[in-house]
Amino acid sequence: MKVPPKYPLQFLRWFCREDYLDEIEGDLMEVFIKQSESSPRKAKWNFGWSVIKYFRPEFLKPFKKTFHPESSDMYKNYFKVALRNLTRHHTFSIINIAGLSLGITCALFIFLIVNYELSYDRYHVKADRIYRVNNGEPGNADTGTPHGLAEILRSEFPEMEDVGIIFKLNPEQSNIEINQELFRENNTYFVQPQIFKLLDFTWLQGKPESLTEPHHAVVAQSIADKYFRGDAIGKTLKLNNGSDFTITGILADPPVNSDFPVRIVLSYATLEKLNQSHLNNRLDAGSNSYSQTLFSLRAGIDPQTIDTKLRKMVERHVAKDRQQFVSFFIQPISDIHFNVGNFNQRTIAKETISTLQLIGLFILVIACINFINLASAQAIRRAKEVGVRKTLGGSRNSLVFQFLCETFLITLTALLLAFGVTSQVITFSESLFSIPLSNDALFRMDTLLFMGATLILVTLLAGFYPAFVLSGFLPAHAMKGAVSGIKSLFVRKSLITFQFLISQVLIVCTILVIRQTNYFLSAPLGFNKEAVITFDLPNSKATHLSTLRNSLLTHSEIENVSFSLNTPSATINTWWANLRHESFSGDERSAEVKYIDSTYLSMFEIQRVAGTTVLPDLTGKSIIVNEALVKEIGIMDPEQAIGEKVSYWNTDAIIIGVVKDFQTVTLQEGIHPVILTSTGYYAKGSVKIDMTRVTEALSIIEKHWKETFTGNYFTWAFLDDQLATFYHEEKKIASLLITFASIAICIGCIGLFGLIAFVATQRAKEVSIRKILGATVAHLTAILSGNFIKLVLIAGMIAWPIAYYIMESWLQGIANRIELLDNAWVFVLSLLVTVALAIITLSTQTIKAALENPVKNLRSE
Amino acid sequence: MKNYQLGEFEEIVLLTVGILNNEAYSVAIKDEIESRLKRTVSMGALHTALIRLEDKGYLKSFSGESTEDRAGRPRRYFEITALGKKAMLYAKETREQLWKAIPKAVLEVSLQKLAVGSHQ
């Protein structure tokens, strides 16, 4: 075998254009072989020389890089084909992207809400080892603990690093006077300096130690700026027209996600010095829910051990016969945002959070289903492409990968759109759901991670099934156009059913939550709440009160005046007493105690059942009770209860009257035993006015109130408005549900629109032929949309029991609830609404298809 | 009238392709030219000419069978196109016109000189 010289050949191959190389090599070889027969050396030399002579521009490779198939080229192709497809079927692309981005926006929004709610008090450095001591048992607990507990914890629990009391004042006790300016600061606290070792606050001026002294105060910067132009140190403020406090420090305002939103901090030592009545050192003493004990656990201590130690502490400090009524348990600080009794007044139940998360997930799934339906319906259009790719050696895996890439592209577009939309609407969350979100939250690391995860999840969830269907086409069938979507029809139908199932469950739940909230606002409370204006009483001096009453009653606009501890339904100043009766055999029950005056029952139209409604004295020894208390002490006939002896706190009392039950707490809870009596202590004034002359009545009340209580802060409210504020949480849930249910239905309809648009074009010829043969427009519309309506109906049937179960468990804990069976129409209504929406969506396309001139579709074959 | 561009070497190649008729491929063309005109032809130059002629549309090519003596590479055969034929004729005609236009005297002198020279 004659072998040509190696290096010249390599050189030739290196520089020579590929389209000429074969021929040139062939020529050179032919010449070489011929010559080497006579002289191999000359042939080799000639070969080399010829190669050199070929080294001229015509034969050189172009300097521009030539096409080299690399793996990235295939991706480029995927990308290009994807873009072409998106622009060619732009209607479907818009539907796809719109549906997905709506879904992602929802999910993102819910993520931000949930993240915000979960972020409460996580920012403290020691957050994971700060606990609050609660009074009672989990599930039936009071957030407040007796004053003496903190001192005992400090001396007997070495595992606790710092222990401190933080006590928030009730609104009516939070009246501040600075430079003769009176205002109410709802976030006024008595605080022990140890609290500042537990919780993170930024001290702009001063030191926590200054709060060891009585009559010292620290204010938030917002207060310092507003009332002292920033120069607050050394100035004084007056609390409730009484004690003066010297300002010794300034704090930065706490972040919004704090359940300790302090604005004015007063030294707890002041309270101890003034020896307020509630400062009882006994552990079995009553406690104020807003006087809370916090502590930080030393690192490495198991919190489980504390609860048992607290039990032993109770045994050491409480008399034997009282021990069974006293217990404490600890709660992590990260948990207190989800129960009533935190200082922020903004709680959200853990169940609400997980419901929201579930809704977010479902909406995302609905959006994905849209995508799956449209993509697999459109698969036929891509059949030829799949056929060609497979013929050219594309494996199934690479096809799956290609379609996933396409989905990725669409999802990415939708995600970016969702991000943009969210950044625009995020500011509305405060007014819509009273959740203060800001744009900063969008750019935090965890949000970006969430979006990345969503991108991948949605791509896989939405893209996998269409990719699987498409890549499964047999090339021969696909090229002939013989692919039909029949196989995937069942899947698609189930997916649509699932979509409308979720939508209808959401609609039913939304309407029922709204109904329940409305019921809360309109349910009979057992007393009159109309035309009543309430205001606070700074003190209950008899002279002040009688002056105010008499001067108010001189005006015809004022119909009645009553002074009491609180209104019949109230969340503030609800005092609970331990109730004892001989029928309890040593046990104790609890009853709410309300201090009233002689006009209270008549003004609030609380009905008498037995005995008298006139309280003879202010000793608290004669009491009027409600029917529930009569039942509690085991007496059936209210008349029999008159003269019965009971004791509450340490007062032995005699029942002199029985009134009908009325709602004393929020409607989530039922009726409790109530004791109505009189001690001369009052905190609330209520005035029944003539509703035709409201403004006059208001100015009269304000004038006389200010005359009586000079130097005090006046504020008023309508009783019914005040009662409505109890149901903020329900209203928030309702507004969240309305938003997300309508979005879910909207996404479902977008998907239906896309699908029917596709079906209408697919079946255009059939429709035209039917039309020629005499079908009416109505008939054609029915044929096209009939199948879809059937699916919606099936979805409704499945949705009913699910919605029933969900709502039943939501309503379970509510004492005054709507009955689901009375609200059966809600279920039917939701189905009708969904069907109506589906018909409207479908008809946009079906009517168009039915009206079209048959010639158009049948002209060409 | 169309202008047919045809260089001297190109014309020779074109003519040789014509001579070889159906058997014209690079090495055959080279051998033919070398044997008829007693001049060496480099493969590179020949190749360039062939490419140019093909670009101009005077030649067209098709690949033939691959053979053992070319280490498996196929031969590329060339064929004169109609345009190529016109170009050849045009070249020939222009030469003849020019020949005819030369005054006889000029040619005689030089021919005589040639004759004298040849007699020596």
Contact A587, A634 (CB under 8 A): no
What is the biggest distance separating any 2 CA atoms in chain A, rounded to whole angstroms? 146
In which band, very low, low, confident or very high, does the pLDDT at A846 lie, cut at 50, 70 and 90? confident
Closest-CA residue to B17 (of B4, B34, B33): B33
The predicted structure's pLDDT at residue A845: 82
What's the pLDDT score for residue A65?
A: 60
Is the pLDDT reported for residue B40 higher than 90?
no
The three-state (H, E, C) secondary structure of A123-163, written as one string: CCCCHHHEEEEEEEECCEEECCCCCCHHHHHHHHCCCEEEE
Q: What is the pLDDT of residue A36?
A: 85
Q: How confident is the model at residue B120 (pLDDT cuts 50, 70, 90)?
A: very low
Instruction: Determine phi and psi for A295, rounding to 5 degrees.
Output: -150, 160
User: Hey, what amino acid is at A419?
Assistant: F
- Between CA A602 and CA A607, with CA A604 as vertex, the angle to 5 degrees is 60
Dist CA A268 CA A166 (whole Å): 8
Which pLDDT score is estimated for A861?
58
**Mean pLDDT (chain A, rounded):** 86
H or E element in which residue A608 lies: strand A608-611
Contact across the interface for B27 and A22, Cβ inside 8 Å: no
Contacts of B69 in chain A (CB under 8 A): 29-30, 33-34
E strands, A404-443, where? Answer: none
Closest approach of B75 to chain A, Cα-based (Å): 7
Q: Please report, for residues A61, A146, A804, A841, the alpha-carbon distance to residue A341 in angstroms, rounded to integers and kept in the order given.
A: 82, 15, 31, 48
More confident of the two residues A564 and A481: A564
Nearest to B29 by CA among A12, B43, A23, A45: B43
- Which two three-digit tokens encode residue B54? 């093909």
Q: What is the DSSP letter of A256?
A: T
> Rounded to whole angstroms, how far apart are CA atoms A357 and A517?
22
- Contact A301/A159 with Cβ under 8 angstroms? yes
β-bridge mates for residue A203, sequence order: A251
Test B48 with A30 for CB contact under 8 angstroms: no
- Mean pLDDT calculated for residue range B53-64: 88
Give SS3 for A175: strand
Instruction: Encode pLDDT of B81-93 as tens digits.
Output: 999 999 999 989 9
Chain B closest-CA separation from residue A62 CA (Å): 16
Q: In angstroms, what separates the C-alpha of A10 from chain B's closest C-alpha?
A: 15
Identify the weakest region by mean pLDDT among A271-275, A445-449, A832-836. A271-275
DSSP three-state, residue A56: coil
Chain centroid to CA A216: 39
- The pLDDT > 70 percentage for chain A reads 97
Predicted pLDDT of residue B64: 80
Number of helices followed by number of strands (H, E) in chain B: 5, 2
Residue-wise pLDDT for A499-511, tens only, equals 889 888 989 999 9
- Tens digits of residue pLDDT in A698-745: 999 999 998 888 878 888 899 988 888 888 888 888 888 888 888 888
Q: What token pair was written down for A448? A: 């970006």
Cα of A828 vs its chain's centroid, Å:
28
pLDDT at B1: 47
Taking residue A795's Cβ as centre, other Cβ atoms within 10 Å add up to 25
A-chain residues near B66 (CB < 8 A): 26
pLDDT for A594: 92
Residue numbers in A near B44 (CB within 8 A)? 50, 53-54, 56, 59
Q: Is the pLDDT of residue A70 over 70?
A: no
Q: Is A46 on the interface with B (CB under 8 A)?
A: no
Q: Over 50: is that where the pLDDT of A661 sits?
A: yes
A131 in contact with B, Cβ within 8 Å? no
Predicted confidence (pLDDT) at residue A485 exceeds the cutoff of 60: no
Contacts of B23 in chain A (CB under 8 A): none
Residues whose CB falls within 8 Å of the CB of residue B105, separated by 6 or more in sequence, listed in order? none
Chain position carrying tokens 């690192």 = A299
Q: Is the CB of A29 less than 8 angstroms away from the CB of B73?
A: yes
Domain ranges of chain A: 6-59, 73-120+347-484, 127-338, 486-524+725-861, 539-711
Q: How confident is the model at residue B118 (pLDDT cuts 50, 70, 90)?
A: very low
A591 has which bridge partners? A577
pLDDT higher than threshold 90 for residue A490: no
| pLDDT category of residue A860 using cuts at 50, 70 and 90 | low
Average of per-residue pLDDT across A289-310: 87
pLDDT value, residue A482: 57
Contact A550, A685 (CB under 8 A): no
Q: Are A561 and A740 in contact (CB under 8 A)?
A: no
* 8 A C-beta contact, residue A218 and residue A265: yes
A29 interface with B at CB cutoff 8 Å: yes
Q: Judge whether residue A69 has pLDDT over 70.
A: no
Instruction: From A825, A820, A795, A823, select the one nearest A810 (Cα to Cα).
Output: A820
For A179, left (φ over 0), alpha (ψ -120 to 50), or beta? left
Across A411-416, average pLDDT: 93
Contact of B61 with chain A, judged by CB distance below 8 Å, is answered with no
| pLDDT surpassing 70 at residue A66 | no
Distance CA A796, CA A834 (A): 9
Chain A residues whose CB is inside 8 A of the B35 CB are: none
Cα separation, A103 vs A550, whole angstroms = 63
pLDDT of residue A483: 55
B48–A58: do the CB atoms touch at under 8 Å? Answer: yes
Tell me the mean pLDDT in the region A407-415: 91
B window 19-38, beta carbon within 8 A of A: 26-27, 30
B62 has a chain A CB within 8 A of its CB: no
Distance CA A423, CA A404 (A): 28
Identify how many contiguous H helices and E strands chain A contains and give both numbers: 28, 24
Side chain identity at residue A592, one-letter code: E
Cβ of residue A50 closer than 8 Å to a chain B Cβ? yes
Helix (H) or strand (E) run with residue A578 in it: strand A575-580
Contact (CB<8Å) B69/A29 = yes
Query: Cβ of B49 under 8 Å from any chain A Cβ?
Result: no
Please state the rounded mean pLDDT for residues A16-42.
84
pTM: 0.73
B47: contact with A, CB 8 A cutoff: yes
Other Cβ atoms less than 10 A from the Cβ of A329: the count is: 17
- CA-nearest of A726, A835, A820 to A513 is A820
Angle A40-54/A18-38 helices, nearest 10 degrees?
Answer: 160
Phi, psi at residue A329, to the nearest 5°?
Answer: -150, 160
What does R_g of chain A's alpha carbons equal in angstroms? Answer: 39
Q: pLDDT tens across A126-182, in order?
A: 888 899 998 888 777 788 888 888 888 888 888 888 899 998 888 888 888 888 888
Q: Which domains does chain B have, with CATH numbers?
A: 8-119 (1.10.10.10)
Best A30, A34, A36, A49 residue to mutate vs chain B (most B CBs within 10 Å): A30
Average pLDDT, integer, range A804-815: 88
Chain B stretch 87-116, residues whose beta carbon is closer than 8 A to a beta carbon of chain A? none
What distance in Å separates residue A51's CA from the closest CA in chain B? 8
What average pLDDT does range A587-595 have in this prediction? 88
CA distance A633 to A618: 24
Indicate whether A599 pLDDT > 80: yes
What pLDDT is recorded for position B117? 47
Measured CA angle at A360 (ends A359, A362), to 5 deg: 65
Q: How far apart are the C-alpha atoms of A712 and A714, rounded to whole Å?
A: 6
Q: Residue B10: is its pLDDT beyond 60?
A: yes
ipTM score of the complex? 0.78
Closest chain A CA to residue B41 = A50
Categorize the per-residue pLDDT at A300 as very low, low, confident or very high, splitting at 50, 70 and 90: confident
pLDDT of residue B119: 46
Q: How many inter-chain contacts (A to B, CB under 8 Å) are there?
A: 53
Residues A112/A442, Cβ–Cβ less than 8 Å: yes
Half-sphere exposure of A564 (CA within 13 A, CB side): 29
pLDDT at A307 over 80: yes
